[in-house]
Amino acid sequence: MSELLRIEKLSAGYGEAVVLHDISLALGEGQTLALLGRNGTGKTTLINTLAGATRQHGGSIALGGVALHKLSPHQRAAAGIGWVPQERNIFKSLTVHENLTAVERPGAWNPQRVYDMFPRLAERKRNLGTQLSGGEQQMLAVGRALVVNPRLLLLDEPLEGLAPIIVEELLRAIRRITQDEGLAAIIVEQHPQAILAISDEAVVLDHGTVVHADRAASLRAQPEVLERLLGVAR
Ligand SMILES: Nc1ncnc2c1ncn2[C@@H]1O[C@H](COP(=O)(O)OP(=O)(O)OP(=O)(O)O)[C@@H](O)[C@H]1O
């Protein structure tokens, strides 16, 4: 398996404030990484740093051997970063279809494939972003990241605040994207059960640094470690 992402001795934060310290990790092509940790431990900051939305103070990030440091968020999207931020950030004044076509780039994913995966979005094709439920907005945010045809998908708490039936639908889609289609992904979650089950690797952050890294299946099989690191048994 060839390497897709390499982060070395990364420190980053907001303005002068340094939130992430000395983070090193690597991810292979097609692999899924569960990024775990309690509230406020730096998960979103790491995702935002990969997407280019924070200030990098030191260290390096390379995607497919290309250094990201000097690239803007837009250039990082072109380099292969697909970002689904915690706030979803869909274009609320555009229709579902326009949200997808506005950012579409050539590749395997196109709006029709997104509609095949999320039939609810196909039904809402001509609705504005303001007319969507939270779950539909999240599906659109995932679809919008996919039609950019990224090499690495970043999902920041994609299941947060959604009804159980929508969580199931999104989990099925994420499984299809990462396992069947083999797209590499980093998925942030505070509640590890569902995400560890569909991930290859797991990293736990605390106080802005990596405190545990393991195969996802191995971490999932150690409830006492999960309890100690995250305060949950499974
Ligand atoms: N815009 C910001 N400016 C300054 N500090 C920030 C900003 N956003 C987050 N922080 C700080 O960075 C630290 C890590 O926050 P972050 O949101 O990355 O954690 P998290 O693990 O994603 O938490 P959560 O699960 O609550 O989203 C926190 O101490 C937070 O207060």
Residue 105: which CATH number? 3.40.50.300
Closest C-alpha residue for ligand 1 atom 30: 40
Q: Per the structure block, which two tokens stand in for 21?
A: 């310290």
Q: Per the structure block, which two tokens stand in for 122?
A: 């196909």
Q: What angle separates helix 96-103 from helix 134-146, to the nearest 10 degrees?
A: 20
pLDDT, tens digit only, all 234 positions of the chain: 799 999 999 999 999 999 999 999 999 999 999 999 999 999 999 999 999 999 999 999 999 999 999 999 999 999 999 999 988 889 999 999 999 999 999 999 999 999 999 999 999 999 999 999 999 999 999 999 999 999 999 999 999 999 999 999 999 999 999 999 999 999 998 778 889 999 999 999 999 999 999 999 999 999 899 999 988 655
Cβ contacts of 172 within 8 Å, gap of 6 or more: none
Atom of ligand 1 nearest to the CA of 205: 21
Q: What is the Å distance from ligand 1's center to 45 Cα?
A: 6
CB 214 within 8 A of CB 202: yes
The number of distinct structural domains making up the chain is 1
> Half-sphere exposure of residue 229, counting CA atoms within 13 Å on the CB side?
26
Closest C-alpha residue for ligand 1 atom 23: 40
Per the structure, the complete domain to which residue 178 belongs is given by: 3-230
Atom of ligand 1 nearest to the CA of 188: 22
Q: What is the Å distance from ligand 1's center to 157 Cα?
A: 13
Respond yes or no on whether ipTM tops 0.85.
yes
> Measured from the CB, is residue 37 less than 6 Å from ligand 1?
yes
Question: Residues 60-98: pLDDT tens digits?
Answer: 999 999 999 999 999 999 999 999 998 888 999 999 999
Helices (H) and strands (E) in the chain, counts: 10, 10
Cβ contacts of 90 within 8 Å, gap of 6 or more: 99, 129, 132, 137, 140, 141, 144
Alpha helices per DSSP H over 107-222:
111-117, 119-123, 134-146, 164-175, 193-197, 216-220
Do the strands 32-36 and 201-206 form a parallel or antiparallel pair, or are they unpaired?
A: parallel
- pTM exceeding the 0.90 threshold for the entire prediction: yes
Q: Which amino acid is at 34?
A: A
Atom of ligand 1 nearest to the CA of 46: 18
Q: How many Å apart are CA 102 and CA 145, to the nearest integer?
A: 11
Q: Which amino acid is at 187?
A: I
Q: Residue holding tokens 């069947």? A: 180
